[in-house]
Structure 1
Amino acid sequence: MGNHFKRFTKVLLTGVLTASLATACGSGGKPAAEEEPKEQTAVNPTGFPIVEEPIKLTFFAGKAASAPADWNSLPVWKEYAKQTNIEVDFQLTPAESLAEKRNLVLSGGDYPDAFHTARLSANDLMNYGGQGIFIPLNDLIDQYAPNFKKLLEEHPEVKKGMTMPDGNIYSFPTFYDPNFKSVLIGTKLWYNQAFLDALGMKEPETTDEYYEYLKAVKTQDPNKNGKADEIPYAASGIGSLLDELKGAWGLGNRGNIHGRVDMDPQSGKLRFIPTDPRYKEVLEYLNKLYKEGLMVQDIMTIEGPQVNALMDEGLVGSAETNSPHAIGGVTIEHFVGAPTLKGPYGDQIFSRARSPLIDVGAFVITDKNQHPEATVRWIDHFYSEEGSKLFFMGVKDVSYVENPDGSIEYTEEALKEQSKFVSWAGGFYPAMLTDKTFKAGEATEPSLAAAAKVEGQWPEEVWPQFTYTQEELTQFTPLHTDINKYVDEMTAKFVVGDVPFSEWDKYVSTIERMGLSQYLEIYTAAYNRYKAE
């Protein structure tokens, strides 16, 4: 099915972003929203319709650049309105102005019944939940969300990640089936098999072999055109490769949701990866690739589509990208997934692993909502197989067909223009995604094969996001912002050679002076809460 997905595969997996840590200034919580008077509408406990008398709800929704411009006219939502007797008015805000508009709406008090695909961080949930603007969902999930309740029971780490320090769950998340590894991974390392064959090389399995391969791509003309035009490694930025390589030095042993904190195997305490001596070695390795011209020019500024175009021209030996055989607008051949690289000390951890709890704040219900029970039933459907199929594939015989063996696939028209039928493009949606209900790039054979190669080196424990109390946030937020900004700047400077490695100790002591011990103390409190629940 590979090449059919070229229009839209890339949009699924936007990298998991570091939670925006807006300073919380919550007032005391109001009584639980259920105590406020509501217009009572009979809600059927199971089946469709959800309500006998039709109701209307207004949702604020975040729209990624790749998502359709109007969700209200899509077949997926028209069909679901028919099934449920609930008409939803999706009011879309573009992703680039989303945080600003969302915060304005919330602070102004004129907010809708719910926020859908609105990229709310755990700290937003704690802040607005504490103020009573987002209602606690614990009892409503118990009574009206059998699919989501089952998911929480089967995946205790997700329940822990969803539960705020005050004991409440305020949201529904983006959830990826943990067995669907290719979708959990998202961006990963790929090799050009045609180049390997031309060079007579086996696929690199260690960091040394990877370096030797990149050098051979640069110097031995594997595309056989008599020009030195090959690009050994291409990606937009160095972050993805850095995340990939950490595990070869034994770093990132709790997965990539916490890209800069893991567990120190020696001390059993939380470790800040960017001050570890082995992180220096990872940066030295990247610096060697950079200064020897083994990375695409302008790696720090080049955009993803430009990288894809270079891959499509047959110039690239290795890349960090999503599913190259099925990617936005081009058909890229010959790429195979890389194994988990083994490093100089024998470490081999797939450090890009992610928790199935991808986006904690994908959907919240506000205290303005007169129909919270019906709204919970409405959203719960998307954590069932049927609802997931509807959300990702759309309407049967309109945007997908079911084969005699029970498998499903998009229609030709949906393959060409998926945005006419469904709204999930761009990620951050409230739904459960599984390999049975999602049939785009990550579900194709090359992506599944690539994931299978690294599954054996998956960390034993992968952390979801942690949550922080209001009090912790007032100290943690400025520390998190300042320390990570400095690490970002210095990581780039070390890699491109703007700062020599003789400055490493000065860099570490600067981070320590910025309040690293206090930062780790608060982080550890959040970790201990997560482990204790």
Structure 2
Amino acid sequence: MKKSLTVLTAAFVASSLLTSACSKEAPAAEGQGAKPVDPVLNETGYPIVKEPVKLQFFTGRNSGGAENFNERMLWKEYAKKTGIDVDFQLVNFENLSEKFNLAMSSGNYPDAFHTARISTNDIVKYGSQGMFIPLNGMIDKYAPNFKKLLDQYPAIKKGITMPDGNIYSVPLVYEPDFYAVLISQKLWINNDWLTKLKMPVPKTLDDYYSYLKAVKNTDLNGNGKADEIPYGGVGTGSLLEVLKGSFGLMNKGTNHRNVDVDPATNKLRFIPTDPRYKELLQYLNKLYTEGLIDKDITTIKNPAFAAKGSQGIYGSLVTTFPSTVMGQKQYVIPAPFEGPHGDKLFTNIQNPLVQPGAFVITDKNKHPEATMRWIDYFFSDEGQQNFFMGFEGVTFKKTADGKLNYTDEIMNNPKGMEQGVMKYLTWPGGSYPGYVTKKYFKAVDEETNNQHKVLGDSLPKENWPAFTYTVEESDQMKTLWTDLNTYIDGMTVKFITGAAPFSEWDNYTATVKKMKVDEYMKLYEGAAQRYQSSK
């Protein structure tokens, strides 16, 4: 992954080649001069402000995550430490895009966006309009911890520097060799049930099918009921993404889910209309029609999925970690299944620059320097410890050799460790601004992290970062992709569930072509060429 960071560095050199409508200078953030104009700011030490300050944050959350950030111990204690009281206005991730667009178009947006998954296109757009303030000067003066990370990994700095030269956001970054989090969603198989069935871990797609059939036809939990579910997840997309590598698809990583490079031609390939994508859908359709996929797959949400999983009734599932999400420790990660063409890749892996737009400060904020100091804390050693581990004697204990472990209350929570954590902390659900390291992210124990080694040799040789587009290009891309994505997603589910027969495939691909996919790919090609020329 360190190699991937080098690639990422090269990728964003291309941004200097962009001719952008956002070349118009964005207004400088208040207080970026030699001396802050904010009279309440303490430039160093704590509290951050000389008198109490209240800020309002638009904050994304997982639907199964903490319900009230304002009442969690982490934020109460941090408010005491800083003098800054943040009102976290929570928006479920499912509604995030809609609510964000509404806030920006109406002008009724907050002091900052936190855990907001803001795209680079929107960062460019609203930064150029002055609604997101540039952070460059404030990072140098008020964010020593974040600046240290940028100096350590220049690729990250280039990745969050927009074509106009400004940095408008604080990202979510994963430690480059922390595979357990870089590979977020992965397939797990119930090892106890493999043992009962006297079956080895599946190596091919056919093996996996045979295992799922055996789960369906065997009373593996011994309760006399046919309640075993061969495969479970949230939506059909999770298994689709995990199995793309078995068909040689998505070979540039998850920043490019729908476009990769066809190794036969070395040209860009639009995955949703490729014949191999059809084969993948046909495989999933076989699993679905034979009752090997949970009947609730298209409607189930994360809380219900976790609740089902805590009963230990899944033979296989896609999630982050069954041990933490569901309290189930009997699952193992298989090596990628070999597909019909001999492919056995695992391509569902993120780039270390996971969320470029995890946190932005808006022009509504009267205390931008104080807000910069507020967020910088979570890139410090102490801040990472508080954010992920909480407080000694309450949420964690320290061993004689200095290691930190969650308390028994959290580790032995019958609904899973994350449920125990959420009583005090708010990290479950992801997408927060910060730096995730093996040292403090204890949702992954060493044994679980080591399991990911089975995927190591099967990862993409080149993991592309997200491309950066000019304002004009991003507007065109968004217009084209909105309709394309809606149609493709809908038809993908229909093909998998059998609502649309595969005799309609040719009509489907023709419709995609009519929806100007060629124009979309031309824009993509331009960005890819800029990326390649920067290497």
TM-score by length of structure 1 reads 0.85
Secondary structure, counterpart of 1:325 in structure 2: helix
What residue is the counterpart of 1:208 in the other structure? 206
The answer as to 2:347 corresponding to 1:351 is: yes
Q: Is the 8 A contact 2:53 2:85 kept in 1?
A: yes
Give CA-to-partner distance per residue, 1:224-272, whole Å, 9 cap, x none.
Answer: 5666543322223221111111101111111123221112223333221
The offset of 1:351, in angstroms, is: 1.4
For residue 393 of structure 2, what is the amino acid of its counterpart?
Answer: D
Q: Which moved more, 1:479-488 or 1:388-397?
A: 388-397
Instruction: Name the residue aligned to 1:150.
Output: 148
Q: Bigger shift: 333-342 or 96-105?
A: 96-105
- Look up the equivalent residue of 1:381 and give its one-letter code: Y
Q: Name the counterpart of 2:433.
A: 430
In structure 2, the partner of 1:16 is: none
Further displaced range: 199-208 or 285-294: 285-294
Matches within 5 A, 1:463-478: 463-478=464-479
CA contact (8 A) 1:43 1:52 kept: yes
Q: Match for 2:442: what amino acid?
A: K
The partner residue of 2:175 within 177, 181, 187 is 177
Instruction: Give the structure 2 partner of residue 19 of structure 1.
Output: none
Distance 1:505 1:212 in 2: 30
Which residue of 72, 85, 88 maps to 1:88? 85
**Where in structure 1 are there 5+ consecutive unaligned residues?**
1-23
CA shift at 1:99, angstroms?
Answer: 4.6
The one-letter code sitting in structure 1 at the alignment partner of 2:407 is T
> What is the aligned partner in structure 2 of residue 447 from structure 1?
448
Query: Aligned residue for 2:503?
Result: 502
Say yes or no: does 1:271 pair with 2:272: no
Contact 2:40-2:51 at 8 Å conserved across structures? no
Q: CA shift at 1:214, angstroms? A: 1.7
Q: Contact (CA 8 Å) 2:232, 2:316: kept in 1 or not?
A: yes
Q: RMSD across aligned C-alpha pairs, in angstroms? A: 3.0
Classify the secondary structure of the residue corresponding to 1:382. helix
Task: Note if contact 1:349-1:457 (Cα within 8 Å) is conserved in structure 2.
Answer: yes
Question: Does 2:391 align with 1:400?
Answer: no
Aligned equivalents of 1:315, 1:371: Cα separation in 2: 51
Q: Please give the alpha-carbon distance, in whole angstroms, between the structure 2 residues aligned to 1:267 and 1:244.
A: 24
CA distance in 2, matches of 1:347, 1:321: 23
| CA distance in 2 between partners of 1:284 and 1:179 (Å) | 35
Q: What is the CA distance between 1:54 and its match in structure 2?
A: 4.1
| Matching of residues 469-488 of structure 1 within 5 Å | 469-488=470-489
Q: Which amino acid aligns with 2:157?
A: K
Gaps of 5+ in 2: 1-19, 414-419
Answer whether contact 1:337 1:446 (CA < 8 A) is retained. no
Q: Is the 8 Å Cα contact of residues 246 and 339 (structure 2) preserved in structure 1?
A: yes
Secondary structure of 1:320's aligned partner: strand
After superposition, what is the alpha-carbon deviation per residue over 1:280-308, rounded to whole angstroms, capped at 9, x for unaligned?
11112112222222222243223444444
Contact 2:60 2:114 (C-alpha < 8 Å) held by counterparts: no
Q: Which amino acid in the other structure matches residue 201 of structure 1?
A: M
How far apart are the structure 1 equivalents of 2:133 and 2:368?
A: 9
Partner of 1:8 in structure 2?
none
Task: Report the CA distance shift for 1:36/1:313 in structure 2 as closer, same or farther (over 3 A).
Answer: closer
Contact 1:62-1:119 at 8 Å conserved across structures: no
Match of 2:122 among 121, 124, 149: 124
Answer whether contact 1:193 1:334 (CA < 8 A) is retained.
yes
Q: Give 1:290's aligned residue.
A: 288
Q: Residue 490 and residue 433 in structure 1: after superposition, are their counterparts in 2 closer, same or farther (change >3 A)?
A: same
Letter in 2 for 1:405: D
Deviations 1:310-329 (A, max 9, x none): 5444443211223222325x
Deviations 1:78-130 (A, max 9, x none): 443454x4413224133265555544544454544322223322222122111
Paired residues of 2:232 and 2:293 also in contact (CA < 8 A): yes
Asked if 1:163 corresponds to 2:166, the answer is: no
Over residues 204-226 of structure 1, what are the superposed CA-to-partner deviations in whole Å (9 max), with x where a residue is unaligned? Answer: 01112112222222335544566
AA of the residue aligned to 2:460: P
The letter of the residue matching 2:177 is: N
* Number of equivalenced pairs: 504
Q: Is the 8 A contact 1:171 1:363 kept in 2?
A: yes
Hey, what does 2:371 align to over in structure 1? 375
Counting aligned pairs with the same residue, the percent is 48
Mapped partners of 2:39, 2:528: distance in 1: 42
Q: Aligned with 1:182: secondary structure? A: helix
2:111 corresponds to? 113
Alignment equivalent of 1:193, drawn from 191, 194, 200: 191
Q: Partners in 1 of 2:292 and 2:118 — Cα distance? A: 38
* Residues 216 and 398 of structure 1: CA distance in aligned 2, closer, same or farther (over 3 Å): closer
The 10-residue stretch of structure 1 (61-70 or 379-388) with the greater mean CA deviation from structure 2: 61-70
Post-superposition Cα deviations, 1:481-500, rounded to whole Å, max 9, x if no partner, equal: 11111111221222222333
Aligned 8 A contact 2:333 2:451 in 1: yes
Given the two structures, how large is their TM-score scaled by the length of structure 2?
Answer: 0.84
Q: Distance between the aligned counterparts of 1:307 and 1:78, measured in 2?
A: 30
Displacement of 1:472: 1.2
One-letter amino acid of the structure 2 residue matched with residue 151 of structure 1:
L
Verify the 8 A CA contact 1:191 1:336 in the aligned structure 2: yes
Cα distance in 1 between the residues matched to 2:310 and 2:116? 34
Instruction: Indicate conservation of the 8 Å contact 1:61/1:118, yes or no.
Output: yes
* 2:361 aligned residue (365, 369, 385): 365
Q: Which residue of 1 aligns with 2:278?
A: 280
